[in-house]
Structure 1
Amino acid sequence: MPTVIDTTPRILYSCYSNVSRDGEQFIPQHVFGFIVSGSTTVGMDSKMYTFNAGDFRFLRKNQLSKFVKLPPAGGEFKTVSITMDEGTLRSVSEELNLKADIPYTGENALLLKPNNLFRNYIDSLAPYMDEGQEISKTLTALKVKEAIMILLETNPELKNVLFDFSQPGKIDLEAFMNKNYKFNVDIARFAYLTGRSLATFKRDFAKTFHTSPNRWLQLKRLHDAYYLLKEKGWKTSDVYMEVGFKDFSHFSYAFKKTYGVAPSTVA
């Protein structure tokens, strides 16, 4: 069984002031978004994408990403994001009799050329965002469908992305894990993204790395942490999240158990 992902359509309004924010996330659904103010850099599959105020963007589903969000000087970072659930996409696909013709091989994050349809659509959401009122499920469903229709009208080639309902295919496990081990997601998510059931993932992992996924991930992250502390002079408080640990106390305990010293004493 693939890992369960949220399939709820959403319209999200983000607003941060004064300080930059960084982190990581799994993108389970396609996202159409607009940068109201500030800028953001998104890292996906070893590529970096930068979006600035006034930019419209499209993010492909099933991606692990790292991000940095920067507010303008003295202002706020603001974005509007519309997530497109599979149910709505399937409905539009059937209604318009449109299907993916060929596998999509383009970028995972796209800077979309601005146009009046995009601008008018975002303007139609402004009253709800400005007043901070919650958008009803019925209206959300309608606006998500509208976003899909506008994307198809302005970028018809995106049908090969939007209407591809296949599960991630089985890929090279070793290459994927060595590229993405710093992402703090559960094992079921790694299994899903490599096109495997959890049981098959664990079995293939043992054949490839000769250990369990949890053990390999911990040692790989601890090795990186030791390097950053010893060779790069990083602060302990900055290292643990960088290498993929969620909790500092767990990182500190695992580090001491592996290296015999607390991370704060490495110099």
Structure 2
Amino acid sequence: MEHTSKYITPDIKLSCYEDKLFKSDIIFDHHMLIWFISGETKIVQAEESHRFKTGDIFLIPRNQPATIINFPKDGMPHKTVVMLLSAKTLRDFYANIKITTSITPIPKICSFNSHPLLESCLSSLIPYFEMEELPEHIAALKITEAISILRAIDPGIDGILANFEEPGKVDLARFMEKNYMFNMTMEKFGYLTGRSITTFKRDFKKTYNTTPQKWLTQRRLELAHYMISEKRKKPTEVIFEVGFENLSHFSFIFKKQFGYAPTQLPERNLNKN
């Protein structure tokens, strides 16, 4: 995979993937404002999925599990400007601002559909990536400008950006049933359910009477089987969306679980009919 990144500061980068595809299961520690220059991205979350392409601008909220699949397209690399809106930056910004919007407890991805003000702000960063050194206060001003524009065009954005709460303890079974397809560490699952890793494993054993890894593998295989059998998707399309990383490993454990390879499913369905 050919991936390059250029940074103005640690919070502003130009990201470029030249390869055919890049996939990651991510939960971001900070909000991410992204402007698409070229390529395409599919983002899969627990209850919805999105596709973004050239010209699109969107905000990915922090602490929301997602599978992100990046594609080059039309002979162009997957290329984006990414701006991190960290908790420190946002706390400083909101320090003297009275918020009238209610906090959004479970925020969704926000799309701004090539908004000219945001596009102008983010595209103006491009020349800075070619400079060897940029005064730090200029980058800070650009982030402040972006936040100000977001607040001007989306009255509800304060409910996301001004929410500094950490995840609280939630119903373990409900959370796992919604998010098992994301390939996160046990520590992340624990954090998002409001538990230490020890408490997470203990509560998981009480709830499911098995280990998290065994349960996750089983649920992901069941979902993969359903998507290939009923949705008529190819194994290569499915593996990334159900929490697996490698096609050969997926095929091996799929056959071990069901007694036949995932590529044999369409033929088995035809024989049933």
- TM-score, normalised to structure 2, is 0.74
Mark the CA change 1:51 to 1:266 in structure 2 (over 3 Å): closer, same or farther: closer
The correspondence of residues 168-187 of structure 1 with structure 2, limited to 5 A, is 168-187=167-186
Question: Which residue of 1 is the match for residue 58 of structure 2?
Answer: 57
Query: What's the Cα RMSD here?
Result: 3.6
Identify if the C-alpha distance between structure 1 residues 137 and 215 changes in structure 2 by more than 3 Å, giving closer, same or farther.
Answer: farther
Aligned amino acid, residue 27 of structure 1 = F
1:41 and 1:247 map into 2 onto residues whose CA distance is: 18
Question: What pairs up with 1:62-141 in 2 under 5 angstroms?
Answer: 62-94=63-95, 96-99=96-99, 101-104=101-104, 108-112=108-112, 114-129=114-129, 131=130, 139-141=138-140
Deviation of 1:103 (Å): 2.8
Which residue matches 1:207?
206
Cα distance in structure 2, aligned partners of 1:265 and 1:70: 24
The answer to whether the 8 A contact 2:19-2:77 is kept is: yes
Cα contact 1:18–1:74 (8 A) shared by 2: no
Q: More displaced, 72-81 or 226-235?
A: 226-235
* Matching residue of 1:4: none
Structure 1 residue 250: deviation in Å? 7.0
| Secondary structure in structure 1 of the residue aligned to 2:65 | strand
Question: Aligned partners of 1:222 and 1:108: how far apart in 2?
Answer: 27
Give 1:68 shift: 3.2
Does structure 2 conserve the Cα–Cα contact (< 8 Å) formed by 1:33 and 1:82?
yes
Q: Secondary structure at the match of 2:156?
A: helix
Q: What is the aligned partner in structure 2 of residue 220 from structure 1?
A: 219
Deviation at 1:37, TM superposition (A): 2.1
**1:133, CA displacement in angstroms?**
5.1
Alignment of 1:219-238 (within 5 A): 219-222=218-221
How many angstroms does 1:164 deviate by?
0.7
The percentage of aligned residue pairs carrying the same residue is 35
Amino acid corresponding to residue 70 of structure 1 in structure 2: F
What is the CA deviation profile of residues 87-107 of structure 1, one whole-angstrom value per residue up to 9, with x for unaligned ones? 11111111x323474232686
Alignment length, in residue pairs? 256
Deviation sequence 1:160-182 (CA, Å, 0-9, x none): 11011111233332122122222
In 2, Cα distance between the equivalents of 1:9 and 1:154?
26
Deviation for aligned residue 1:204? 2.0
Describe the shift of the 1:149–1:254 C-alpha distance in structure 2 as closer, same or farther (beyond 3 A). same
Do the aligned residues in 2 keep the contact of 1:13 with 1:81 (CA within 8 Å)? yes
Does residue 193 of structure 2 align to residue 194 of structure 1? Answer: yes
Separation in 2, partners of 1:84, 1:218: 34
CA distance in 2, matches of 1:254, 1:84: 40
2: CA distance between counterparts of 1:239 and 1:116? Answer: 36
Q: Specify the alignment match of 1:146 in structure 2.
A: 145
Distance 1:266 1:92, change over 3 A: same
List runs of 5+ in structure 2 lacking aligned partners. Answer: 1-8, 266-273
Change (3 A) 1:202 1:13: same
TM-score, normalized by length of structure 1? Answer: 0.76
Give the C-alpha shift of residue 157 in structure 1.
Answer: 2.1
* Contact preservation (8 Å) 2:57, 2:119: no
